[in-house]
């Protein structure tokens, strides 16, 4: 029955992936953030892009709360053309302008239409123009009378802008459109001014720095009112994103360090752990009532509005009269507004590592392994100095489907164990004391397992089934020797990151599977003989050394037909033992295999033809084997088999980290 369920699940995943080029999201922000990169090359995306271009005003910004994907009549299109020069209702509120710029960047990454690049750059210029001399941004620009002129942190408006400035000023690859050096310099100055504004608006309570208000007066920088129910107050929601932005700055100034320390202390002081929100829904899933109920050791939450002097939470209806609880205000505001947030939890989670990195003393309470609802940290040491002497025992002790990361620190030693991380052990991280001396080893192979034709898949030393897995500073070895198939590491999980690890074996060393899984190997050493990197997953190998023990094949991908990327090697080095003089880059385990080498150093062991069809003539028509800008004695591009490819730069540019691993999860991989 379990195998039957797995088969059905695999079928459903395969079917859904075949349809992923069709947009299935109803809301405009979801369309931008959740679609697969390949969708942006579809006709559907191009039609939406035409709408986005129409909605953009000549000044560069967009109005808010527009469902850009909705079809437009000819009359509506003409009206939008007429509105191009209109200077009203152009904003960064509710994600406007920032999200449309992101959409244009994603479009340009797939379709090199110069209008998309021009639209993005016009939006960037709009943001630069809208900045106040003091570094802040208003909610609307050109300015709209009323509270809209205040410096606006509300709904992360200013943080969204500063994140754009940060990405562009640091010349990262987050956006596909690259501004001129002059514009990059402007974004650096804009970012620095914005951070200075943030530091100056951090509220002092009896001389002690705390947090921020959703709005600050554009002249005095004091906390300011907005709508009737949005009185000047310290914000538990908006302040969290501000602090996360400050924490993302490399080599922070003493003023930034003080701001983060002060905000962290305020978050600790103001967290609420004795209340939980209960929502009552109707048959259509709409919220019809919210209640706050008492609870013991509830996950921490923070009020969105807190008194400037006492930190006491308060709530308002449209009459602007402060109340002490949400049940004292009318249902329209009670149910239609977010009065509490768990956003600061992310600050408290990241603070200890940030503090240590930046030379800030961390208290025992801050550094202690967290208990309920926080990170779990376990230690494995063979000498008995940790929580466990065996790695598998620590995994057994880890919580199932945790809300937060579970870290298992492994002290130096050789652990003769066969390790399985089940699918319910998500968010698990293994960290070795050192790659050279933290060794997990076992010696299963095909003949030893002897369970029939699929025995290979049971030979693993380490099997990872739980999603959101990471490992670093570890050697994982199949010690059975050159005795047939023997997997060292088998990863069937989604969002797996392996860094600074050694993966050692012979035939079938590294198995990477899953028709829709994304995995990332960075700074690793991977060694084997025949097909020693094989499977169906989408995997990015970056800055890795790939070493062949004897003459054979490096890869054997089985990429599903509709998956855009298979195995991608970037900036890797392919080496070999002296006896290995005839090595193929790959052969297709299944006929739709995809394997690409970019900017790699290929040793002299690589055969001139490069690739082999594994006696599958159909594979020559359906595989995608390619190289770009590779160097070394093995990079004999003119002698490659005719059915492989040498990419142009424009084609190679599509192999960005964001495209391969998907933008929806790429931030996870960067952690």
According to the model, what pLDDT value does residue 474 have?
A: 97
H/E segment holding residue 664: helix 663-669
CA distances from 284 to 80, 281, 288 (A): 34, 8, 10
According to the model, what pLDDT value does residue 362 have?
A: 64
204 bridge partner residues? 209
Cα 376 to Cα 402: distance, rounded to the nearest angstrom: 9
CA angle 23, 515, 440 (to 5 degrees): 135
Residue 663 has pLDDT above 60, yes or no: no
Of 116, 117, 157, 112, the C-alpha closest to 139 is 157
439 bridge partner residues? 414, 475
H/E segment holding residue 429: strand 428-432
Cα 182 to Cα 588: distance, rounded to the nearest angstrom: 47
- Alpha helix (H) residue ranges in 391-468: 391-397, 446-449
Neighbours of 328 (CB within 10 A): 14
CA distances from 165 to 168, 175, 243, 253 (A): 5, 11, 16, 18
Convert the pLDDT of each residue in 361-397 to its tens digit. 766 455 544 444 446 889 999 988 888 899 999 998 8
Structure tokens at 138: 């208003």
Instruction: Report percent pLDDT > 70 for the chain.
Output: 93
**If DSSP states are collapsed to H, E and C, what string results for 535-603?**
ECCEEEEECCEEEECCCCEEEEECCCCCCCCCEEEECCEEEECCCCCCEEEECCCCCCCEEEEECCEEC
Cα 256 to Cα 660: distance, rounded to the nearest angstrom: 34
For residues 550 and 580, the answer to whether their CB atoms sit within 8 Å is yes
Categorize the per-residue pLDDT at 20 as very low, low, confident or very high, splitting at 50, 70 and 90: very low
According to the model, what pLDDT value does residue 401 have?
A: 85
Residue 315 has pLDDT above 50, yes or no: yes
Average of per-residue pLDDT across 459-472: 95
Average of per-residue pLDDT across 624-637: 96
For residues 97 and 127, the answer to whether their CB atoms sit within 8 Å is yes
According to the model, what pLDDT value does residue 667 have?
A: 53
- Residues 490-515, buried b or exposed e (16+ Cβ, 10 A)? bbbbbbbbbbbbbbbbbbbbbbbbbb
Average of per-residue pLDDT across 560-574: 95
According to the model, what pLDDT value does residue 1 have?
A: 35
Which residues does 461 contact at the CB level (< 8 Å), separation at least 6?
418, 419, 440, 441, 442, 444, 476, 477, 478, 479, 487, 488, 489
Which residue do the tokens 């599958």 mark?
Answer: 616
406 bridge partner residues? 376, 428
H/E segment holding residue 33: helix 28-34
Cα 50 to Cα 73: distance, rounded to the nearest angstrom: 13
Q: Which long-range contacts (CB under 8 A, 24 or more apart) does 107-112 make?
A: 107/40, 107/45, 107/46, 107/49, 108/176, 108/177, 109/37, 109/40, 109/176, 109/653, 109/654, 109/656, 109/658, 109/659, 110/37, 110/38, 110/40, 110/41, 110/45, 110/654, 111/40, 111/41, 111/46, 112/650
Cα 640 to Cα 629: distance, rounded to the nearest angstrom: 14
Average of per-residue pLDDT across 413-428: 94
Of 273, 429, 263, 431, the C-alpha closest to 351 is 263
Which residues does 638 contact at the CB level (< 8 Å), separation at least 6?
none
Cα 63 to Cα 91: distance, rounded to the nearest angstrom: 6
Mean pLDDT rounded to a whole number for the chain = 91
Average of per-residue pLDDT across 483-506: 96
Map out the domains of the chain with their CATH numbers. 1-201 (1.50.10.20), 202-368 (1.50.10.20), 412-666 (2.160.20.10)
For residues 209 and 285, the answer to whether their CB atoms sit within 8 Å is no
H/E segment holding residue 323: strand 322-323
Q: List the catalytic residues.
A: 508, 531
Residue 456 has pLDDT above 80, yes or no: yes
Q: How many CA atoms lie within 13 A of 54 on its CB side?
A: 23
- Following DSSP, what letter does each residue of 446-473 receive, concatenated? HHHH--STTGGGG--SEEE-SSSEEEES
Cα 319 to Cα 238: distance, rounded to the nearest angstrom: 23
Q: What are phi and psi of 488, to 5 degrees?
A: -85, -55
Pick the more confident residue, 26 or 48. Answer: 48
Of 105, 101, 107, 108, the C-alpha closest to 55 is 101
Helix (H, G, I), strand (E, B) or coil at 244: helix
Cα 42 to Cα 40: distance, rounded to the nearest angstrom: 6
Convert the pLDDT of each residue in 110-139 to its tens digit. 999 999 999 999 999 999 999 999 999 999
First to last CA, the chain: 37
For residues 614 and 583, the answer to whether their CB atoms sit within 8 Å is no
Residue 551 has pLDDT above 90, yes or no: yes
Residue 241 has pLDDT above 80, yes or no: yes
Average of per-residue pLDDT across 574-603: 96
Categorize the per-residue pLDDT at 422 as very low, low, confident or very high, splitting at 50, 70 and 90: very high
Pick the more confident residue, 79 or 400. Answer: 79
For residues 213 and 232, the answer to whether their CB atoms sit within 8 Å is yes
Which residue do the tokens 């003459």 mark?
Answer: 551
pTM of the model: 0.56
């Amino acid at each position: 029955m379990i195998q039957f369920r797995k088969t059905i699940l695999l079928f459903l995943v395969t079917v859904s992936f075949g349809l992923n080029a069709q947009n299935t999201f109803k809301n405009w922000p979801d369309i931008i953030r959740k679609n697969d990169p390949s969708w942006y090359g579809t006709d559907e995306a191009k039609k939406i892009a035409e709408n986005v271009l129409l909605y953009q005003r000549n000044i560069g910004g967009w109005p808010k709360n527009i469902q850009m994907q909705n079809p437009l009549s000819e009359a509506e299109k003409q009206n939008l053309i007429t509105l191009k020069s209109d200077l009203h209702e152009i904003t960064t509120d509710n994600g406007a302008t920032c999200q449309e710029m992101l959409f244009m960047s994603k479009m340009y990454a797939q379709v090199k239409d110069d209008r998309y690049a021009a639209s993005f750059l016009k939006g960037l210029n709009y943001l630069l123009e809208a900045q106040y001399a003091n570094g802040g941004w208003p909610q609307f620009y050109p300015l709209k009378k009323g509270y809209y002129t205040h410096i606006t942190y509300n709904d992360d408006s200013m943080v969204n802008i500063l994140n754009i400035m940060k990405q562009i000023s640091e010349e990262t690859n987050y956006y596909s459109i690259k501004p001129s050096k002059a514009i990059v310099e402007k974004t650096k100055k804009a970012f620095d001014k914005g951070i200075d504004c943030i530091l100056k608006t951090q509220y002092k309570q009896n001389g002690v720095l705390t947090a921020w208000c959703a709005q600050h007066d554009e002249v005095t920088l004091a906390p300011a009112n907005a709508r009737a129910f949005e009185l000047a107050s310290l914000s538990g929601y908006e302040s969290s994103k501000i602090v996360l932005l400050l924490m993302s700055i490399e080599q922070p100034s003493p003023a930034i360090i003080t701001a983060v320390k002060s905000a962290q202390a305020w978050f600790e002081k103001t967290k609420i752990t004795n209340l939980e929100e209960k929502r009552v829904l109707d048959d259509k899933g709409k919220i019809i009532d919210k209640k706050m109920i008492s609870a013991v050791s509830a996950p921490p939450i923070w009020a969105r509005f807190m008194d400037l002097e006492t930190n006491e939470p308060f709530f308002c209806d449209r009459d602007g009269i402060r109340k002490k609880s949400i049940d004292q205000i009318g249902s329209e505001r009670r149910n239609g507004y977010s009065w509490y947030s768990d956003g600061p939890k992310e600050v408290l989670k990241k603070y200890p590592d940030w503090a240590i990195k930046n030379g800030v003393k961390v208290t025992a309470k801050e550094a202690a392994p967290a208990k309920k609802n926080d990170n779990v940290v376990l230690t494995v040491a063979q000498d008995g100095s940790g929580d466990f002497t065996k790695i598998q025992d620590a995994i057994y002790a880890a919580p199932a489907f945790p809300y937060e990361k579970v870290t298992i620190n492994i002290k130096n030693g050789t652990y003769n164990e066969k390790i399985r991380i089940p699918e319910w052990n998500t968010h698990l991280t293994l960290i070795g004391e050192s790659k050279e001396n933290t060794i997990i080893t076992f010696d299963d192979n095909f003949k030893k397992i002897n369970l029939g034709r699929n025995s290979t898949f049971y030979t693993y030393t380490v099997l990872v089934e739980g999603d959101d897995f990471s490992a670093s500073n570890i050697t994982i070895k199949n010690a059975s020797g050159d005795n047939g198939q023997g997997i060292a590491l088998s990863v069937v999980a989604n969002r797996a990151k392996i860094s600074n690890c050694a993966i050692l074996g012979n035939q079938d060393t590294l198995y990477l599977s899953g028709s829709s899984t994304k995995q990332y190997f960075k700074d690793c050493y991977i060694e084997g003989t025949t097909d020693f990197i094989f499977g169906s997953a989408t995997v990015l190998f970056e800055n890795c050394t790939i070493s062949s023990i004897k003459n054979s094949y490096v890869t054997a991908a089985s990429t599903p037909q509709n998956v855009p990327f298979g195995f991608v090697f970037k900036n890797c080095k392919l080496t070999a033992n002296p006896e290995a003089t005839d090595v193929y880059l790959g052969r297709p385990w299944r006929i739709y295999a995809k394997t690409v080498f970019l900017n790699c150093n290929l040793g002299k062991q690589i055969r001139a033809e490069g690739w082999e069809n594994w006696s599958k003539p159909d594979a020559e028509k359906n595989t995608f084997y390619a190289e770009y800008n590779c160097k070394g004695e093995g990079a004999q591009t003119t002698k490659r088999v005719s059915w492989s490819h040498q990419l142009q730069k424009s084609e190679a540019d599509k192999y960005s980290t964001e495209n391969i691993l998907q933008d929806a999860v790429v931030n996870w991989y960067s952690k």
